[in-house]
Amino acid sequence: MHIVRYSLPGSPDARVGVLNGDRISGLTDVDELADLWTLRLDDLRERLTRPPAGGDLALADAQILPPVDGRTEVWAAGVTYEISREARVEESERSADIYELVYHAPRPELFFKSAAWRVAGDGQPIAVRTDSTLDVPEPEVALIINAFGEIAGYSVCNDVSSRSIEGENPLYLPQAKMYLGGCALGPFVRPAWEVADPYDLAIELTIIRSGEVAWAGTASTGQLHRTYDELVRWLLHSDVYPHGVILSTGTCLVPPAPFSLEQDDVVRIDISEIGTLTNPVVRGLDAIKTALA
């Protein structure tokens, strides 16, 4: 079972449903996905397993939308895998020790990544900036956390990042990571109770250029240096998320320099049990604005 946000052909209205196999059952009394994150986990489970009240439709007949809406924010954790620490130490000669420190510190690196409205869904374009020379996708497990701090589900996030901007000065992190086309999520949410061991998920990143694999790598969430609960606890330490929050848990794959994303590349992220997120790449603000128009 997956939780899906979608629209019907010819209608601009977003709906929420449950996907079983290739059929979507609409949740008729749910206005937006964020409504589900106001429920406790037990109540969510009961709600989703209730016999569908409305009709159903084929997945192929629906337009799948990014699984985040309303006032649900997207946050991200950094330097949670050794590969990310190594890559950042390498690209950031003058500030290398901050990455070492945060990797071992009790407090993790957490940063705001995106408002819901600017998150790309499956098949939608992501972007690299024209003031950046080294750009990479970051394939990450995303936690969907409800208003009570419980992990309600999992999805796939691409924390698209400029390595050259962050590497120049870590204080440029927001510019390296938060811009139109810098975040993709989806296609669906897998409910937490269906994932037997979230520390044993295979993550695969494939970058296709001109029809050929330009870079590919695999890793596992077993290499995560922290626990999901620990990341959630810090995120909620002095803050509230009444509409739930998405937390992307850090990258375990970084294509080594000088590899950099280019216009028309296609990025595919497969996470076992969770899903496959595919996004084409465009370069520059005008290109992403045109692609989204």
- Enumerate binding residues for Mg ion (CB under 5 A): 138, 159, 251
Our CB check for ligand DO4 shows the closer of 24 and 136 to be: 136
Q: Please, are residues 65 and 116 in contact by the beta-carbon 8 Å criterion?
A: no
Pick one of 34, 79, 120, 136: the residue that binds ligand DO4 (CB under 6 A). Answer: 79
Our CB check for ligand DO4 shows the closer of 147 and 253 to be: 253
By a kind-dependent CB cut-off of 5 to 8 A, residue 79 interacts, out of ligand DO4, Mg ion, none, with: ligand DO4
Round to whole Å and give the CA distance between 155 and 290.
Answer: 27
Q: How far is the CB of 28 from Mg ion (least distance, A)?
A: 37
Q: Could you give the dihedral angle defined by the CA atoms of residues 268, 241, 179 and 289, in that order, rounded to the nearest 10 degrees?
A: 80
Our CB check for Mg ion shows the closer of 25 and 158 to be: 158
Q: Which residue of the chain is nearest Mg ion when measured via CB? A: 159
Our CB check for ligand DO4 shows the closer of 119 and 147 to be: 119
Q: Please, are residues 272 and 201 in contact by the beta-carbon 8 Å criterion?
A: yes
By a kind-dependent CB cut-off of 5 to 8 A, residue 109 interacts, out of Mg ion, ligand DO4, none, with: ligand DO4
Q: How far is the CB of 292 from ligand DO4 (least distance, A)?
A: 23
Residues with Cβ within 8 Å of residue 235, at least 6 apart in sequence: 75, 110, 145, 245, 247
Pick one of 2, 5, 15, 88: the residue that binds ligand DO4 (CB under 6 A). Answer: 88
Q: Please, are residues 108 and 99 in contact by the beta-carbon 8 Å criterion?
A: no
By a kind-dependent CB cut-off of 5 to 8 A, residue 155 interacts, out of ligand DO4, Mg ion, none, with: none
By a kind-dependent CB cut-off of 5 to 8 A, residue 88 interacts, out of ligand DO4, Mg ion, none, with: ligand DO4
Our CB check for Mg ion shows the closer of 73 and 138 to be: 138
Centroid of chain to Cα 33 = 16
Q: How far is the CB of 173 from ligand DO4 (least distance, A)?
A: 6
Give the residues across from 154 on adjacent strands.
143, 190
Window contacting ligand DO4 (CB under 6 A); options: 23-31, 73-81, 179-187, 208-216: 73-81
Q: Please, are residues 48 and 153 in contact by the beta-carbon 8 Å criterion?
A: no
Q: How far is the CB of 191 from ligand DO4 (least distance, A)?
A: 24
Chain length of the chain? 293
Amino acid at 140: E
User: Binding to ligand DO4 (CB under 6 A): which residues in 95-124?
Assistant: 109
Q: How far is the CB of 115 from ligand DO4 (least distance, A)?
A: 18
Contact footprint for ligand DO4 (CB under 6 A): 76, 78-80, 84, 88, 109, 138, 159, 173, 250-251
